[in-house]
Amino acid sequence: MNRLGRRYLVVMVGLLLFGFALGAQKLNADNLWLDELYSLSNMGVFAQPYSLPEVVDSLTEHSQNHVPLYFFFGAQWARLVGWSQLPMRYLSLLFGILFVAWTYRFAADALDRGTAVLAATLVTTSGFILMYFHEIRMYTLLLLLLLVHAWLYWRLSAKAAAARWEWLLFVLTAIALLYTHVFSVFAIAGLGLHHLIFSRRILRWRGILLAWIISALAFLPYAPGYLRGAMAERTIASLQESALSAPQLTRELAHIMVNGFELLWLPIWLLAGMALRKRPDLRSLRILIIGAGIILSLMLFNQVFPLIDSLRFRFFLAAMPFFATLCAYVLWSPGRSRLGTLPFLLVWIAGGLHIHGLGDSWQYSGRNTLFVEIPPLYKFADSLEQRRNELDMVVGFSRSKFVDWPLRHGKSIADYYFGAILNLNHTFFVDPSPDSDSRLNINEQLGDHPYLLLAYEPDDRSPLYEQVTAVIEAEFTACAELAGRADLIVRRYVHSSLACDRQYQPIHYDNGIKIMDKFGGYDAARESVRVVTGWEVAAEAQLDQYNVSIQIITPDWQKVGQAPDRHLHDDVLKWYVAEISTAGLPAGAYQVVVILYDRHSKAKVAGSDQSTAETGNILPILQFSIPR
C-alpha cells in the first residue's frame, strides 16, 4: 500500500470510529418506540428467540406488511446477547458502520478514493441516516445490502471477467434485499433504469437481468401473504389522508437530504452546472440515474398508492448513499477548485449533528409523540438489573396510558422492560386519574403483591405521588433505596406482615409448578387467617389442569377450615390471597396447609418445601394457636 493509500485508510478508520461513537451515544438514551417493540415482538422477545418459521408465523399474524430476514437475524442475535435494548440496538449500529465502509468501497470503485472518503463522511453525518443507527429496525441492514449489491452490479457490468462468487453474491444480496424490506424493489428499480439506459455499455447485460429475475422468483413464495398485508394497510383511511403529494414530497425531501440546510443546494447546483459546461463525467451521470430512479419510482408509487407521509420518509433512505456520492463527486472531482468543500462539509456536519441531538423530537423521525409522555423506563430497567428480587412488582407513574397500552402482540412498552427483560410484574398510575375514588383505584392496581418497588423521577413527580405513597406506607414497610440519583428514585417496600430481610420460602412440585413464596398470619381480633402464595407454572396448559386448596387442619389431620379452591388460571395472577375464618374454632394448635391437585382426576401432586426440605402432597404454610 502506497503512502496515499495509507492516508485514506487512516481517515476511514477514524471516520468509522466517529460514526460508531455517534451511533453508540444513542443506544441507551431513550425508550423503545412502537416500531421497535413490533420488531422485538416478531423476534420472540415475549417467548424465546424465534426460529425462521416462527418469525414467519408471527409476521403472518401481526405484521403481514413486513418480511422476515431482519427479524430472523435479530432473533439469532438475541440468543447470543439477550433482549436488553443496548445489545439489540447494537445490531443496527453494526450494520450501519458496515454500510459506511461499503459506501467507501462502492464510491472508490465507481469514481475515486478521494470522492469515496467524502461520500462516506456525508453518510456518516447525515441526520436522516444516523437516526437508524440506533433503532431496532431493518433500515441499516437494508442500506448495507443495497451498497453491497450496487458494488457487485458495478463490478459485473464493467469487469472483463467475473468470478462465480460475484454472481452468487449478486443474486443472494438481491434476494436478501427483498426479504429485508419489500420497498427495496425501488432501489432495484433505480439500478434497473440505469441498466436500461446504459445497456450498450454494460457487460453481461442479459446475465444481470436474469439474476434479478431469479431473485424475484425466490420471493414469490412469500409474495401472496405480503400482498394481503400491503393491501390491508392501503385501506387505512388515515394513511391515505396524511400521504403527501409529489410537490410536498419534493419539498420535504429537499429539506431532509441536506440535513435541514436548504442553502446547501446552492453550491451543489452551482458545481453541478459547472460540470455540465464541460464534458460530463459518464460515471457520475450513471450514479445520478440510479439515485433519481429510486426517488422517481417511489414518488410514482405514492401517486398511485398514497402511503408516504411526513413520518415515512425512511422509504427514501435507499437514495441517500447515491446522493451523497454525487455530492462528494461535485465537491472533490479532479480539476476543480475545492475551496468550498470544507465550508460545505462543516455546515453539513453541523446540520446532521443538530438533527442527531434532537433525537425522537425531529419531525421526520416517525416516532410516536405519545412516547415523550411516559417515564424513562430504560433507566428503571438498568437500575434494577442487578438489584431486583424475582417477586418484586414495579410501581411507577406516567402522564400517558400508552406506557401500558397493549399493541399488536398484546404487549406494551412496560411489558418489554419489566416483563421480558426483568421478569417482574408492574403497574403504572396515569396522571390524571380518571377515578373519583382514587384510593380504591390505587388499592386495585397494587393488588395483593407483597413486594413493591416504587420508581419515579424526583424532578418530575406525578400529582398522584403523595396519594399512592400514603396508601403504600399504610400497609407496607419501607426497606431500602435501590436508586437515589438526581434523576431517579427506586425504593423497596415489603408488606408489613413480612420482614425486609426475609428469605423466600418456595415449594417446587414434581410437575414443574412452583410456589415462589408463601406466608400467612393469624389475626385474633378478626378471627381469621390470611395466607398468601405466589405461583408459577412450567407450561401454559397447566393453568387449566390444576387447582389449589388452602386448608386449616388440626394436629390429627382433621380439616376444620378451608378457602374456596382456586383454579390456577383464575385471573392468571402470581399471587393468591386466601382468608379463612377461625370463628368457632376451639382453643388449640392448628396448621395451614396447601394442596395442589389435578382438577379432573383429583390426584394430589407431590412437592418439596425448599426452605425446610419437607416433601409430600400436603405441605405446611403456617402454624398458629388459638388461645383459651
Backbone phi, then psi, for 620, in 5-degree steps?
Answer: -75, 150
CA 503/CA 517 separation, integer angstroms: 9
Q: How confident is the model at residue 67 (pLDDT cuts 50, 70, 90)?
A: very high
Q: How confident is the model at residue 78 (pLDDT cuts 50, 70, 90)?
A: very high
Radius of gyration of the chain (CA): 31
Query: Vertex 543, ends 541 and 549: CA angle to 5°?
Result: 140
Considering the entire predicted model, what is its pTM? 0.89
Q: Tens of pLDDT along 455-496?
A: 999 998 999 999 999 999 999 999 999 998 988 999 999 998
240, pLDDT greater than 80: no
Cβ neighbours, 10 Å, residue 496: 12
CA 30/CA 85 separation, integer angstroms: 10
Q: Give whole-number Cα distances, 599 to 383, 531, 605, 621, in Å.
A: 42, 21, 11, 21
With DSSP H G I counted as helix, E B as strand and the rest as coil, what are the percentages for the chain, rounded to 5?
55, 15, 30
CA 213/CA 199 separation, integer angstroms: 17
Cβ(323)–Cβ(316) below 8 Å: no
CA 127/CA 353 separation, integer angstroms: 7
Residue length, the chain?
Answer: 628
160, pLDDT greater than 80: no
Write down the pLDDT at residue 6.
Answer: 80
Q: Tens of pLDDT along 333-390?
A: 765 667 778 899 999 999 999 998 887 677 777 665 556 688 999 999 999 988 888 8
Query: Strands 489-495 and 566-567, how do they pair?
Result: unpaired
Q: What percentage of residues in the chain have a pLDDT greater than 90?
A: 65
CA 553/CA 551 separation, integer angstroms: 6
Range in 42-46, 169-173, 439-443, 524-528 the model is least confident about: 439-443
* Centroid of chain to Cα 279: 50
234, pLDDT greater than 70: no
161, pLDDT greater than 90: no
The set of cell numbers assigned to 382 is 438498568
Write down the pLDDT at residue 439.
Answer: 58
CA 69/CA 145 separation, integer angstroms: 12
Write down the pLDDT at residue 235.
Answer: 65
CA 540/CA 155 separation, integer angstroms: 54
Mean pLDDT of the chain: 90
Nearest to 398 by CA among 433, 367, 440: 433
572, pLDDT greater than 60: no
Reduce the DSSP state of residue 278 to 3 states and report it: coil
